[in-house]
A and B are shown apart, each in its own frame.
Chain A
């Protein structure tokens, strides 16, 4: 068993290092704090952490960063509330002596940690929170976001329906910031893509508590031609089942955020609707760059599971971090921030640049249509939408970030 011999070798090395101290000691690894909702959002966060460990080991096996130093992630649960997350961030910075912090899932948690990072003047790489505020109105010098924001993903979808003759639209979104801002972005972008389009109904069920029957009924009653859906997770499954049975989606264009991601596609199973226009991650269809296939194979071999969108995000994040450390060649946070501005990294999905203007990464996502293959949903006609093409316009960013 290679793993055992490896760990024994590691033990031996540790023993040697102890004996040889202080003269020949290896340079200490660079510790990076990673806090996320591993307990509450395990379906996303555990594949994310798996991929981060995979990437961390790949970086270290290739000789580490900054001329031979290893990187080491310290993972912590953020408790899924801003109060807990800020305490955990404090613990990572003071007790674990991490160089900087990354992670978080929920937008309110991400924003609270971002402001904390600003206060402590430490880099915070917000990986998952989608809220536009984190790079716009509430953006700060120390906070950078990797994933395409709500605005960017909504824009990708609106571009995909440009010019279609679908005039009457209904919106269904979970009643919290993500859902509301996706709905607001959609309303804002729609007239530019389909002149004369109107919103005929809006439904905002409480997150995790959609009353699917009543909601589907209310949407159907407005007789829309198209539906923009922002529901995900358990709400989405309930909504799709109810909508399928009641024929809500028949002869209608449905546009749906995140639905193509394996996290949300797998639970839909054979209920996966046909032909929804979605953002997602058809990992088995991604051919370029070749590094993507290598990453998928390594992930499947090590964890005996298929990669999720979270996995991709985790892997790309580590690649960006390794590149950042090499470029800055320092753990001074001010130097790291300066190096991160417009830093271009070649990742498993191609180049990703951290735009210096609004601290938003240009990581993209895939836009395509849902389809059922066997008893499992997947995407067809998917193409990679590069985030660089969907960023906020520069003057808008300047206006929004003026206070920051």
Chain B
């Protein structure tokens, strides 16, 4: 290969790195100060592009000058920053007192709403932006032609980094941001106006995302899928760099940009998973990212978020559980479709319950729980379609596959904590997704495999419903029993203070690993049941969207409650099933419903039930 080509390829990598850094820097600053895992960051990026493709051509009508182009880009960034302020003031500010994870759910609601609002405002057709005046041409570098605009982009990243450094070290606002990133409680205790600080941070973060989107318009058309295409990569950059570290994000973006530019030459098919492999490798070696630091609060005793003191059900609780169970059993009296939806709710309830076993009881937040669900489904489905086994042994295999893969990934996962742990679960889930997606000969690739139907005796909707009910209820009762048993209490102890648990002789890592494996097995069982209810398996069963759905279910239900996630699964699925037939804009209504529930029941449905019963959850 020629040197000139390698040089140009490296420059392409630098240009991508620069764009990625601008976006990721906003995400990392917002996380550092507010501890919010802001899923809506990708939506701000998309809004930046849409505002810019509207505003910039209008400005260029006056004069095709580069200055007007860049003025338009900056104004777009400011406009998006104001959207960020709007989200902070109307939504996030109201829920700072509830568990930090809950804000994640709220931002996920915002993602859904923005997706549909963008469709309503700008229509479904991709909108190409104008090229930057004066930077339309290609520049010759040795014998290769390289776009002038990308040459310019290479310098934007370092410029933004320098400006952020000045802001962080030369202004009072920047000092406060750094202080809050190090120790938020201390900043609050010293009397800093946190509301102003958070609003300002959200403005800065959203404006950076908007800037990132607006700068892309000469390269890509504004399209309604932009938000999700950028958000995972932005997360990867912030995690590799260390959450909250702006220089770390810069370093990580450089790494990823070059990895992709040269990765396409060597592995043209797996560029997407390369970044996740890198993230997994970095986290296994450096648990806080390249330039991140251990969380200041890591060793401090804080009020834990999750199940505190599981008690036996009181009379009202028993009645409620009995009514729910009777309802499930009586569904076939309604109609065939209600049975179908009921079966799905049962499966999702088991998956959500297994996730809350980790999150609520173990303090292990998994962003990739769908991996075990999906691998269980694949384990069962492959046995049926490839090995020709009937349903029964396949359903036995599902939890084994889910548990085994959870044991494998969990071995690395439980060494970490907090957000880094969550991100490592996400990385492993994406790696599993990529394997299933690429291994076409065995898994059928993204088309998946069909023909995963139940045995003859369970083929009718009703019979399969009762089978699912029996299996899921038994599994949930078993997991609940584990939560109440000493093993569950040990997990809670490890969650509340790993050091103290360690001091009294608990093998924290071993217990968390066993817990992770058990939850994976339960999710795998749910996945197996799901595959037979649908007749097919495909990679969406392992995807990030399904993982996010599971998280939404347990948060809606209330992570501090043992049984709340069941109600959360039922509510989430019911809302989706209610709006989907009604309108194309069901995502808008699903998002609005999520936000309404976040605001009305800030401790989840189970929390609302508990306060109705007049006692703390």
Interface set of A (CB-CB < 8 Å, partner B): 38-40, 42-43, 46, 76-77, 79, 81-84, 86-88, 90-91, 94-95, 107-108, 111-112, 114-116, 119, 131, 133, 138, 175-177, 180, 202-206, 208-209, 211-215, 217-218, 220-221, 233-234, 237-238, 241-242, 245-247, 263, 266-269, 271
Name 17 A/B residue pairs within 8 A (Cβ), A-sorted. A43-B126, A81-B545, A86-B534, A94-B336, A111-B450, A111-B536, A112-B450, A112-B536, A114-B450, A202-B268, A211-B264, A215-B264, A221-B2, A221-B265, A241-B131, A267-B126, A271-B128
Give which listed residue, B264, B335, B341, B445, contacts A203 with CB less than 8 A.
Answer: B264
- Is B455 positioned at the interface, with any CB of A under 8 Å from its CB? no
Q: Which of B179-187, B393-401, B581-589 contacts A (4 or more CB under 8 A)?
A: B581-589
Say whether A218 contacts B344, CB under 8 Å. Answer: no
Known: A87-B577, A115-B535, A209-B229. 6 other contacts (CB 8 A): A81-B540, A94-B337, A107-B446, A108-B448, A205-B264, A241-B218
Say whether A88 contacts B580, CB under 8 Å. Answer: yes
Say whether A107 contacts B447, CB under 8 Å. Answer: yes
Say whether B446 contacts A208, CB under 8 Å. Answer: no
Chain A residue at minimum C-beta to C-beta distance from B220: A238
Chain B residue at minimum C-beta to C-beta distance from A131: B447
Chain A residue numbers with a CB within 8 Å of B219 are: 212, 238, 241-242
Q: Chain A nearest CB: distance from B116 CB in Å? A: 8
Give which listed residue, B9, B12, B272, B536, contacts A82 with CB less than 8 A.
Answer: B536
Say whether A83 contacts B540, CB under 8 Å. Answer: yes
B contact residues, range: 35 or more
- Is B16 positioned at the interface, with any CB of A under 8 Å from its CB? yes
Say whether B450 contacts A217, CB under 8 Å. Answer: no
Chain A residue numbers with a CB within 8 Å of B226 are: 234
Chain B residue numbers with a CB within 8 Å of A116 are: 534-536
Interface core residue of B124, B269, B337 (most chain A CB under 10 Å): B124
- Is B530 positioned at the interface, with any CB of A under 8 Å from its CB? yes
Say whether B146 contacts A246, CB under 8 Å. Answer: yes
Contact with A along B1-36 (1 / 0, CB 8 A): 110010011001101100000000000000000000
- List residues 165-184 of chain B with CB under 8 A from any CB of chain A: none
Say whether B337 contacts A206, CB under 8 Å. Answer: no
- Is B150 positioned at the interface, with any CB of A under 8 Å from its CB? yes
Chain B residue numbers with a CB within 8 Å of A112 are: 448, 450, 534-536, 538
Interface core residue of A112, A116, A205, A242 (most chain B CB under 10 Å): A112
- Is B271 positioned at the interface, with any CB of A under 8 Å from its CB? yes
Chain B residue numbers with a CB within 8 Å of A246 are: 138, 144-147
Say whether A91 contacts B581, CB under 8 Å. Answer: yes
- Is B481 positioned at the interface, with any CB of A under 8 Å from its CB? no
Bound-state Cα–Cα, A217 to B147, Å: 11
- Is B606 positioned at the interface, with any CB of A under 8 Å from its CB? no
Q: Chain A nearest CB: distance from B545 CB in Å? A: 8
- List residues 209-227 of chain B with CB under 8 A from any CB of chain A: 218-221, 223-226
- Is B125 positioned at the interface, with any CB of A under 8 Å from its CB? yes
Chain B residue numbers with a CB within 8 Å of A234 are: 126, 220-221, 223, 225-226
Say whether B538 contacts A39, CB under 8 Å. Answer: no
Say whether B13 contacts A214, CB under 8 Å. Answer: yes
Bound-state Cα–Cα, A153 to B13, Å: 34
Bound-state Cα–Cα, A268 to B16, Å: 22
Known: A107-B447, A212-B219. A217 touches B536 (CB 8 A): no
Chain A residue numbers with a CB within 8 Å of B448 are: 82, 108, 111-112
Say whether B124 contacts A43, CB under 8 Å. Answer: yes
Say whether A115 contacts B446, CB under 8 Å. Answer: no
Bound-state Cα–Cα, A214 to B258, Å: 9
Say whether B128 contacts A211, CB under 8 Å. Answer: no
